């Protein structure tokens, strides 16, 4: 057994490891709000120490108190393992089942420094999207996964492994909950407090569910969004050549925008205040050029417009300045959006204009009330500038980061005339909902646990063939989807999308997902693919997420404020064969604003795996289509009727349409 395997099996070491110096080269989480009272701090420390033998409490108490004072959280830095953190080939993990080894592969990917946003604070993306709260939890989980059999299930409470319980081979190996709160305790400051106490965490979507695959995960969705936004604004069916897309954020997910802009064929300007984030995305080739002077930016963009150059430019600075400068200089913006982390506005998600990055980081921890005022003022200024551009013809859409919501809370001029809706649509209302989710198309993904790029190339070819087959008989309603997805998978290798594990994302509907997964399982069985494949998806999908300002923004029967679908989805996946399931509060638009869930499924080439994938994937997609259809969404009614024709065991309650005149007449009198 090698050193890595020994360390995994050891879990929390018996003797204290040496302290590790704070590595200033790494992108660290900002200091979190100092929110706990003295009594609560004692409780946080007591909570942290329960992972360790009492003989170490003296030493660790001082150290953890120092972490709590300095960073606002207890990360237990000393326990960060000294081996390299990355998704190893599956056979390098110690363990008794392929399923748990595959989960270890996925966890290590989420914490890989080239993948994770704040790797030492166990944050994968979105500023606060945590895999675990501290390193003790990581060590224990890896040990449990290495020890357990497929007659057991590991129970995860917001990063904390409650234990391994007896179950059965058909049960999920891991059941994860993140941030589940009593509803009245689910405000932003509740997260600050209960996370600082060490009893909950913000799992985002794919951070706390071990399903993150780097920015590729979002590039595909972003490409589809930009392409379809382009189709919306096209006057004569023209493409995006020479058109300008302005947005912000080069972080975990937002970093996908320039790449997507390039694939969609436009000029992309993406503002980012954090120089480390700019450097990361530029050095990874995800953005072509970096400009830090506003005048130079204007000149560069005008040149690109003249030559219809496909180019992505990072502006190192604040997005508000760009909106204002482009207005002053009359640079026409065709498409506009924003992907700062406004789901997390007070703790590093949004940097207000006119304050340096460093000063903002200090202010949010030391003068939180003042910081809040600055964020609000900045959002009002940003909205004013956006309004000027939209008056000139820019198509602006909310990109699922709670921009419209937070701008409205800041008192910005963002409401529609009726005072209820926002002035601008969210991308789900206009694009992703009706064009994708209602038909069942969503961010299906897979990971080759051999860690071998050749396996990934083989899966790409298999998936492409299947989509081309499906396209032959597909109805006209979904032809455009299939064309876009075939083009995506054909260009996937060339676009060098892999960062971290050998993963691929491909928007597909239930039929596509099932056919592709079955073909993968057969290829593993025949040895063509050399190791198991993990299937999964982003929670941002047809059925996994109830989120009134994002995934379910195009549900208009009032049920967008309910969360039955996400809960049913995860329960249904768990008894239909998922290898692991997760359900989260928060993710995307913010703590308390969304319930989202997902799954992971290991394909190992067996008959059982084939049975599981067929039943579970069918449910995983059609549950959401059924709900969307009940909400009277035409595209979903079309899709669920098609699903019922294909599957005699499916019976879905369909809505009867009401003539609006009846209601209008009633209320007129
Ligand atoms: N619509 C979608 O499909 C979708 C997908 C992913 C993420 N999101 C949402 O988008 C947001 C961003 O996600 P992420 O993972 O990239 O988060 P992130 O925190 O990794 O990145 C956001 C970036 O914005 C930068 N930033 C903040 N304020 C700025 C400002 N005023 N000017 C310029 N840059 C600024 C930050 O420095 C950070 O690097 C989140 O709210 C997320 O939930 C939406």
pLDDT digits (tens, 9 = 90+) for 367-426: 999 999 999 999 999 999 999 999 999 999 999 889 999 999 999 999 999 888 899 999
Distance 139 CA to ligand 1 centre (A): 29
Residue 66: other Cβ atoms inside 10 A: 11
Work out which ligand 1 atom sits closest to the CA atom of 351: 28
pLDDT in tens, 30-69: 999 899 999 999 999 999 999 999 999 999 999 999 999 9
Residue 1: other Cβ atoms inside 10 A: 8
Chain mean position to CA 110: 12
Work out which ligand 1 atom sits closest to the CA atom of 587: 43
Work out which ligand 1 atom sits closest to the CA atom of 255: 16
Per DSSP, 416 falls in state -
Distance 196 CA to ligand 1 centre (A): 23
Does residue 96 register a pLDDT over 70? yes
DSSP state letters, 142-204: HHHHHH--TTEEEEEETTEEEEEEE--TTS-SEEEEES---GGG-SHHHHHHHHHHTS----T
pLDDT in tens, 280-310: 999 988 999 999 999 999 999 999 999 999 9
Q: Which of 287, 401, 544, 592 to mutate to test the pocket of ligand 1 (most atoms within 8 A of CB)?
A: 401
| Contact in structure between 433 and 425 (CB atoms under 8 Å) | no
| Contact in structure between 206 and 212 (CB atoms under 8 Å) | yes
Rounded to 5 degrees, φ, ψ at 300 are -65, -40
**Mean pLDDT confidence for 489-516:** 94
Considering only residues 428 and 534, tell me which one the structure prediction assigns the higher pLDDT: 534
pLDDT value at position 252?
80
Helices vs strands, H then E, count in the chain: 23, 17
Distance 487 CA to ligand 1 centre (A): 27
Average pLDDT of the residues of the chain: 96
Contacts of 566 (CB under 8 A, 6+ apart): 543, 544, 545, 546, 583, 595, 596, 597
Distance 218 CA to ligand 1 centre (A): 12
Per DSSP, 652 falls in state -
pLDDT in tens, 176-227: 999 999 999 999 899 999 999 999 999 999 999 999 998 787 888 899 999 9
pLDDT value at position 343?
86
**Mean pLDDT confidence for 585-595:** 90
pLDDT value at position 360?
96
Q: What is the rounded CA–CA span in Å between residue 470 and residue 467?
A: 5
Q: How far is CA 215 from CA 141, 253, 498, 555, in A?
A: 25, 5, 8, 28
Nearest CA owner, ligand 1 atom 9: 401
Q: What is the rounded CA–CA span in Å between residue 568 and residue 47?
A: 32
Q: Give the residues surrounding ligand 1 with Cβ less than 6 Å away.
A: 117, 125-127, 218, 221, 248-254, 271-274, 277, 318-319, 339-343, 349-351, 399-401, 540, 588
Distance 254 CA to ligand 1 centre (A): 5
Q: Which of 341, 378, 586 to mutate to test the pocket of ligand 1 (most atoms within 8 A of CB)?
A: 341
Burial of residue 445 (CB within 10 Å: 0-12, 13-18, 19+) is buried
At 669, the pLDDT band (50, 70, 90 cuts) reads: low
Distance 344 CA to ligand 1 centre (A): 9
pLDDT value at position 611?
98
343: nearest Cα among 202, 246, 134: 202
pLDDT value at position 594?
96
Burial of residue 575 (CB within 10 Å: 0-12, 13-18, 19+) is middle
Work out which ligand 1 atom sits closest to the CA atom of 125: 15
pLDDT value at position 494?
87
């Amino acid at each position: 057994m090698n050193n890595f395997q020994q360390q995994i099996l050891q879990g929390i070491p018996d003797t204290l490891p040496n302290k590790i110096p704070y590595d200033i080269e790494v992108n660290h989480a900002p200091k979190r709000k100092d929110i706990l009272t003295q009594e609560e701090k004692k409780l946080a420390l007591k909570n942290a120490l329960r992972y360790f033998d009492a003989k170490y409490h003296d030493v660790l108490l001082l150290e953890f108190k120092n972490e709590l004072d300095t960073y606002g959280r207890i990360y237990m830095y000393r326990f960060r393992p000294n081996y390299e953190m990355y998704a190893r080939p599956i056979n390098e993990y110690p363990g008794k089942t392929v399923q748990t080894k595959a989960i270890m592969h996925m966890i290590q990917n989420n914490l890989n420094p080239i993948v994770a946003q704040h790797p030492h604070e166990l944050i994968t993306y979105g500023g606060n999207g945590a895999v675990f709260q501290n390193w003790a939890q990581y060590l224990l989980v890896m040990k449990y996964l290495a020890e357990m059999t497929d007659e057991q299930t590991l129970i995860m409470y917001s990063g904390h492994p409650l234990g391994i319980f007896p179950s059965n081979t058909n049960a999920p190996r891991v059941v994860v909950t993140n941030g589940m709160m009593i509803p009245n305790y689910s405000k932003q400051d509740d997260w600050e407090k209960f996370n600082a106490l060490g009893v909950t965490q913000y799992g985002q979507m794919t951070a706390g569910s071990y399903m993150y695959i780097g920015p590729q995960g979002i590039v595909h969705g972003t490409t589809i969004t930009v392409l379809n936004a382009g189709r919306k604004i096209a006057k004569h069916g023209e493409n995006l050549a020479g058109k300008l897309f302005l947005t912000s954020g080069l972080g975990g997910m937002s970093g996908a925008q320039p790449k997507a802009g390039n694939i969609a064929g436009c000029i992309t300007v993406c503002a980012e205040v954090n120089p480390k984030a700019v450097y990361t995305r530029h050095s990874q080739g995800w953005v072509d050029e970096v400009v830090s002077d506003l005048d130079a930016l204007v000149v560069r963009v005008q040149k690109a417009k003249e030559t219809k150059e496909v180019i992505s430019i990072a502006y190192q600075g604040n997005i508000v300045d760009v909106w204002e400068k482009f207005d002053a200089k009359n640079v026409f913006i065709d498409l506009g959006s924003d992907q700062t982390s406004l789901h997390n506005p007070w703790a590093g998600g949004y940097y207000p204009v006119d304050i340096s990055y460093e000063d903002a980081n200090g202010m949010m921890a030391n003068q939180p009330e003042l910081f809040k005022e600055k964020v609000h003022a900045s959002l009002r200024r940003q909205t004013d500038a956006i309004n000027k551009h939209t008056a000139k013809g820019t198509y602006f859409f909310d990109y699922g980061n709670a921009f419209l919501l937070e701008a409205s809370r800041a008192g910005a001029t963002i409401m529609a005339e009726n005072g209820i809706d926002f002035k601008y649509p969210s991308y789900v209302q206009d694009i992703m909902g009706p064009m994708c989710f209602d038909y069942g198309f969503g961010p299906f993904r897979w990971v080759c646990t051999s860690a071998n790029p050749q396996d990934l190339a083989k899966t790409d070819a298999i998936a492409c063939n299947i989509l081309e087959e499906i396209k032959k008989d597909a109805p006209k309603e979904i032809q455009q989807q299939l064309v876009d997805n075939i083009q995506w998978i054909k260009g996937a290798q060339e676009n060098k999308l892999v960062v971290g594990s050998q993963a691929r994302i491909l928007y597909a509907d239930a039929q596509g997902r099932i056919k592709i997964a079955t073909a993968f399982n057969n290829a593993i069985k025949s040895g063509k693919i050399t190791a198991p494949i993990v299937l999964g998806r982003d929670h941002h999908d047809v059925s996994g997420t109830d989120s009134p300002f994002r995934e379910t923004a195009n549900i208009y029967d009032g049920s967008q404020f309910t969360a039955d679908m996400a809960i049913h989805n995860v329960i249904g996946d768990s008894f239909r064969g998922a290898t692991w399931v997760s359900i989260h509060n928060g993710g995307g638009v913010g703590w308390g604003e969304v319930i989202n869930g997902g799954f992971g499924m290991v394909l190992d080439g067996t008959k059982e795996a084939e049975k599981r994938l067929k039943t579970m994937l069918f449910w995983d997609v059609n549950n959401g289509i059924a709900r969307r259809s009940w909400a009277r969404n035409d595209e979903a009614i079309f899709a669920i009727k098609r699903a019922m024709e294909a599957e005699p065991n499916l019976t879905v309650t369909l809505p009867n349409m009401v003539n609006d005149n009846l209601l209008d007449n009633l209320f007129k009198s």
